[in-house]
Structure 1
Amino acid sequence: MNELCRRSLAFAFVAFVGLAAPSLSRAADAQTSQAQIQLARQAASEGLAAYRAGQFDKALNLFEQAKALYPSAQIVRMIGYSLLALEKWMPAAEAMEAALVSDVAPLSDEDKTDVKEQLAKAMAHIGVLNVTSKVPGAKLVVDDQPAANLPLAKPVWLSPGKHKIVVSAPDHEDEVQEIELEGGKPLELSIDPKELKKEAPPPPPPPPPPPPARKNWIPQQRLIGLVATGVGAGLGLGTLGASLASIHLRNNVARDIQIHERMYGTNCSRGDVSFCQLDRDLIAADGRDANTMRDLSVGLGISALVLGAGGIVLTIFAVPEEPAKPKDEAPPTAQKGAGIRSFACGPLGGFGVSCAGTF
């Protein structure tokens, strides 16, 4: 580190001189006041003194103050050198890279060459990782750091040693790897996560079974329904006839009672008692016949209603039945064979005459 300090100290004096140069001041006049530049010079001068004394923490603090006032490339360079002396490798490398690209009092080519040499010393203690992927939308996660989109804007700087990296992408499996980085040896990786296997969609549910075919409740349901309806209609006519007959008999009985009472009185008080009693018996017989016809009409009416309604229901809900298939006829070959006669028997073979028999 002594060689580094001596070399850096020499360049520190150059930086201090560069800070005070009028040309640099004129370049910064547009954005920085002379008072700020003067304060930056003072802080940088104190930082150089601390740097010469080996007080690198103090020097770093003073150079940071100077940078806040006037961020020239030389001051940023000295921040990097101070960090390098403190063996803070990654901050030192970042500061020296910033000094190389700074446009505030930019470094000369000679200064840039020296910064690159010191930067290489810092990078010897830094692991460099660059990951690429052919999968669109891939992202990289290193250890617990936030995810970064691939391709990377710049390689990732990490401390040497083992690290865990995860490359992920939409609709792809995460690719996880354990890597080991060495200082000064960049590692290039190309990682393509595997596409997730999409499960086949479940087959559509089977269609619901068709409703069971309607069947007749009984064989020949339509015919039976029509017959029952016809019988019910016939019984209805019979009911009407029996009712009319019953009414006619009742009217006759009522009329006969009136005639009987006029001729024989209420209790056979007039006329011949025997004839009176005979007449009463006849009238009673006609009354019984009228009651019988009334009961018959009621029974016929109920039967007609039941048969008619049942027949109508059977007819309405009857399903057309397929006609019975005719029995298979004999094969045409068999039919033809039945009429074949033996030519050896002559024209009489068809009449059952045996060719071997005698007449």
Structure 2
Amino acid sequence: IMLATATAYAGEQEVAEARQAYREATAAVQAGDLDKALELFERAAAASPHAATHLAAGRTAFTLGNKARAADHFTRALQLGLEGADAKEAKTKLDQVSAQLGSVRITGTGGTVRMDGGTRLPTPAILHGVSGAHALEITKGDQRATVTVELEIGGQKAIDLDEALAPKADTAPAIPPPVPDKPERVSSFPNALTWVGVTGLVLGGLGGGATAGVGVAALSAKDDFLASRTQEDFDTAESLEMGTNISIGLSVGFGVLGASLLLGSVFMEEDAAATTALTADGFVIRF
């Protein structure tokens, strides 16, 4: 009983507020303040929806040139059972303005809806707008959602109240893996190949010095043999000549090997710098 009494009292208060807003709106119309009148008519309709109130709001919006709000109110007035000449007027004006608008039908009960911050209407409802994107605010109890709807002149979209308010699956885009920083190239020059090449050149140089010394000794031993003609001097000269030839071969071999290794290490260093490059996008480019 107490709940029924409280509900009846709340209903009476809403009706009283609606009547007061309607009277103030009528006075604003008579004073020529149509913007204030439209605001008050809409306040009255929100407090206690009635066909006559929506008709008055529709007429005011129509006079102001606000086609979308006029269409919303004329539609609502007809839904609430407007009859007779008033219904004919609402239908005629609705046809006029709706030909220049698109609309969205919201199905389902127990919620409210408004478009682009305009009039909030209970569902089911039909809202109108010019061609383009519009923000549709939908509520039902504690549930709220904002849906973007694209309207076309003469077309009508349909949105289900409960589907629009249903929790959406997480559609957050996958976070791409972090792009590694471009590694700083640490030069390995001089490398092991370089050191081997240098060693070869050094050995080649030492061998060249040794070859010169052995060569001089071989020439001296040859002169001694020519003077003495002994077997001992012949053997000495022959041994020194063979040592000279071996020393020449080793010196040249070490020198060529060292020079080749040095050149190879230089080319390898340059090739390694240009073989692979890491771009800012993490792609490897090979040259």
TM-score, with structure 1 as normaliser: 0.27
TM-score, with structure 2 as normaliser: 0.33
Greater Cα radius of gyration, structure 1 or 2: 1
Answer 1 or 2: which has greater strand percent: 2
